[in-house]
Structure 1
């Protein structure tokens, strides 16, 4: 018996501790984690082969990861950036025939600020479009190390501002949501903060933040995450991503709110509702739990979904191999449907 069950004093903060126990993980996700730890040994590190080469290898299915599936229903567009003559590539996914879109969801992909592109997430974008009843616009922001901070964030800011001005004309519905995974969660939250000053009259209906990295100086889970082998992310891998994105920055610089949104004061903001999700086998677990707690402390509504046993990037796995992916994506889409204006 947990000693808390016998106490008469009640905590002002509560956590469903059962979600964090090893026995709560499904057999499917346990098998997936074992497979990933064995398989990742065979995959070259992107920082050993070079970011550009590794991106090409992954796009061509030459790594341990399957080649990304491109769906015919997806559409490539571009939108202007703050730099004259340079456009930002984007990928658009609309709901299947018969489902009316109610809003635009701006998606920002993960990949440590270094890997992936807007063209590699079609299967996830399609699920979001169909289940949430939204037009999904995924942003192809510039990647590090070729384009370090603030290049990637600025592309996301420019895309959001363009969608605020043009989404209704282009897609028939307005921008209401922003979200992403991992580095994309970071960029989504940073985009919200940027818009509070650049477009103060605009208000999101909600944020969808899946296993985001919100502190690039690293919270304790990054330092203490222990697996016998890398389960997508560990401190070493995180350091390489961070140093590519923010080369030469001191700890003080890394903790500036523009670099690490965890350190934003949140004072005086009309915080939109947000859903935070993360698996327990993720070195970014602290980022989700602590950012969500700060959100609520400052008056925002936060839904937190913890997926027992799920690894980093859990939403990207097939649902039969990772039922937690289905649970997490469906939760995010249910949140969007409920929050739509």
Structure 2
């Protein structure tokens, strides 16, 4: 098989079967390629070429018969009518690739806006932050809310906070291109988390993540609206912290503390080093971890590891693995 240099783009060419002109990667256009996989090759009754045949005619003859039928009837013909016109083919009109595909009809009003002729649902009316007025102060501040007990049927759909949230969600959806499904799901999530909300309450990530995920609602989009309202607090544990604890598991205490300090300096930077990207930090620690695990069986601190220990470990590696771990251990 011929090999082309990187970045090579095959020029516009003519298909070896139907002779159509167009852009395609191989010798045949995609339609002729699939046609040849399902039909056997022989001499065509019409053009006498050796090509894959359907009812003794090649695809080029079929395209011409279809074109003739359309010229007579003024509309696309079915396969039976086209087959009856194959024997009358005496010439071939060359064409560009893709012209014989039947165009899809334009989307109907039902697809665009629900039922045919029904008006689209109007956007929510402009709403602003509700006036808190008088309110009952909470008796206990530290007790988290249990959103898992709430369902859409229990939601307070008349809440002014929900009306404000839906208006903000509509503006964000228009600005960021959220689809119809995301908009609907975000409104459902807002109806659940804002039920019973009063001015001064704070909605936390750890309280709403699991309930919304259990209902297959978009947590990130819902949080975006809550942040726009200024009532959200992100108390989730960063993924880096969880990953670091997992990667340091099994190391000797002294080696663990020194490795953790080195990893945090890589990520956050220090007096003599710039911060690295989080992906680079993950890569370095993952590559150095096998050596650290082996040394943890013999030593309590990294200062006990000698040059001979490093060389003895490197001798057990080969190729790319040796190079990658040398870079990380350096």
Greater share of residues in helix: 2
- Taking structure 2 as the reference length, what is the TM-score of the superposition? 0.21
Q: Which structure dedicates a bigger proportion of its chain to strand?
A: 1
Larger Rg: 2
Bigger RCO of structures 1 and 2 (CA < 8 A, at least 6 apart): 1
